[in-house]
C-alpha cells in the first residue's frame, strides 16, 4: 500500500457504519466507505444477499474487512440486536422500500427518536412517492433511453453510479453532523442518478451521429487489419498532431482507410510514441 493509499484509508477512521443494504448499490457504497477507513457492519437477512448467488467472489470482495451479522429483523431479538449496533454507529445504510422498513419499525422518524446522532442513508429505486415502485438497474436504464433492444446493457450504470452518489451524500451527511450536530435522513434514488448519467444522450452528444456518437472522425471506433481501436483525439493539439502524422483530413472515411493498413496493437504502439489518445479495444 502506498503512502497516499494509507492516508486515504485513514480518512474515516473512527466512523462506524451499519448497512442493511443487499444486492449491489448499498454494499458497494459500504465498501467505498470501508476503503476510506470506516468500520462497517453488514447485517444480512436470514435469506442472505442475492449477490452471493449471482457473484459470490464479488460479494466477498465487497465485504472484505466488514463484520457480517445475520439477523431476523422480523423478530424482537433481531431488532434488539440491531438497536445495539445502531447505538454505536454514525451512519445507517438501507436499500429497502420505505413501506418494508416501516413494517419493521425502521422508519426514519422512529430510528431518529431512538438514535438522534445516527445519520441515515436510504438507497431507493425512485424518489418521493415513487420509492415504492419495484425496479432494478435494467428498468432504470430502460426508462432513460440507455437500452438499445434487444441488447442487454454491458454495465450496471444505475447501481455503480448510484453507489458513487450514495457515498458522496453519506460523506456530506457526516460532515453536516460534525458541523451542526444534526443527524439527517438522506435518500438517493437510482432512477434519478441514471437520469443524470443519460444527460449526454439527451443532449444529442452521444446519440448515433452525434459529436461523440460517431459523428466526428477524431472520436470513434475503427476496425484495423487485426482488431479494433478507439480514437479520442478531440482536443485541437491531438487532432492536429494525428492528421499531420497521417497526412489525412478529419473525416471518418479517411481514418477508416488508413487504420485498416496495420493491426490494432501496431496502431496503439504508434500512438503511444506520439502522445495520441488511441488504444486497442478490449474484447
What one-character-per-residue DSSP string does 154-214 give? SS-HHHHHHHHHHHHHHHHHHHHHHHHS---EEEEEHHHHHHHHTHHHHTTSSSTTSTTTT
The strand ranges marked E within the chain are 16-19, 39-44, 67-70, 91-94, 119-124, 185-189, 219-223, 228-232, 278-280
As a whole number of angstroms, the distance between CA 77 and CA 148 comes to 48
- The reported pLDDT for the residue numbered 206 is 93
Q: Give mean pLDDT, residues 44-54.
A: 92
> Quick one: 277 exposed, middle or buried, by C-beta within 10 A (0-12, 13-18, 19+)?
middle
- The reported pLDDT for the residue numbered 129 is 86
Residue 2 pLDDT class (50, 70, 90 cuts): low
Q: Give mean pLDDT, residues 31-59.
A: 95
Residue 3 predicted with pLDDT over 70: no
> Quick one: 45 exposed, middle or buried, by C-beta within 10 A (0-12, 13-18, 19+)?
middle
- The reported pLDDT for the residue numbered 6 is 59
Beta carbons within 10 angstroms of residue 7's beta carbon: 11
Write out pLDDT tens, residues 10-37: 899 999 999 999 999 999 999 999 999 9
- The reported pLDDT for the residue numbered 1 is 55
- The reported pLDDT for the residue numbered 9 is 73
Domains defined along the chain, listed by start: 3-200 (3.40.50.10540), 219-280 (no CATH)
Residue 81 predicted with pLDDT over 60: yes
Write out pLDDT tens, residues 215-229: 999 999 999 999 999
Percent of the chain scoring above 70 in pLDDT: 97
- Cell numbers representing residue 6 in the block: 494509507
Average pLDDT across the chain, whole number = 94
Contacts of 57 (CB under 8 A, 6+ apart): none
Counting every residue, how long is the chain? 283
Strand order in the sheet with 185-189: 67-70, 39-44, 16-19, 91-94, 119-124, 185-189
End-to-end CA distance of the chain: 30
As a whole number of angstroms, the distance between CA 19 and CA 245 comes to 54
- The reported pLDDT for the residue numbered 128 is 86
Amino acid at each position: 500500500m502506498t503512502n497516499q493509499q494509507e492516508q486515504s484509508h485513514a480518512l474515516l477512521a473512527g466512523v462506524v457504519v451499519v448497512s442493511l443494504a443487499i444486492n449491489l448499490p448499498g454494499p458497494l457504497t459500504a465498501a467505498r466507505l470501508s476503503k476510506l477507513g470506516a468500520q462497517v457492519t453488514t447485517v444480512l437477512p436470514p435469506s442472505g444477499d442475492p449477490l452471493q448467488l449471482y457473484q459470490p467472489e464479488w460479494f466477498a470482495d465487497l465485504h472484505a474487512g466488514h463484520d457480517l451479522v445475520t439477523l431476523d429483523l422480523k423478530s424482537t431479538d433481531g431488532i434488539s440486536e440491531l438497536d445495539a449496533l445502531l447505538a454505536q454507529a454514525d451512519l445507517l445504510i438501507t436499500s429497502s422500500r420505505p413501506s418494508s422498513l416501516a413494517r419493521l419499525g425502521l422508519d426514519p422518524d422512529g430510528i431518529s427518536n431512538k438514535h438522534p446522532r445516527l445519520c441515515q442513508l436510504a438507497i431507493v429505486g425512485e424518489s418521493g412517492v415513487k420509492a415504492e415502485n419495484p425496479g432494478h438497474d435494467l428498468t432504470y436504464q430502460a426508462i432513460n433511453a440507455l437500452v438499445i433492444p434487444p441488447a442487454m446493457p454491458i454495465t450496471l450504470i444505475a447501481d455503480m453510479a448510484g453507489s458513487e452518489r450514495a457515498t458522496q451524500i453519506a460523506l456530506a451527511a457526516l460532515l453536516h453532523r460534525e458541523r451542526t450536530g444534526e443527524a439527517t435522513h438522506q435518500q438517493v434514488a437510482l432512477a434519478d442518478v441514471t437520469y443524470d448519467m443519460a444527460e449526454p444522450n439527451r443532449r444529442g452528444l452521444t446519440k448515433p451521429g452525434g459529436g461523440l456518437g460517431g459523428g466526428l472522425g477524431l472520436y470513434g471506433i475503427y476496425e484495423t487489419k487485426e482488431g479494433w481501436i478507439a480514437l479520442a483525439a478531440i482536443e485541437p493539439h491531438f487532432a492536429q498532431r494525428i492528421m499531420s502524422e497521417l497526412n489525412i483530413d478529419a473525416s471518418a472515411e479517411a481514418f477508416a482507410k488508413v487504420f485498416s493498413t496495420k493491426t490494432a496493437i501496431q496502431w496503439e504502439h504508434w500512438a503511444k510514441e506520439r502522445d495520441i489518445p488511441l488504444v486497442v479495444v478490449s474484447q
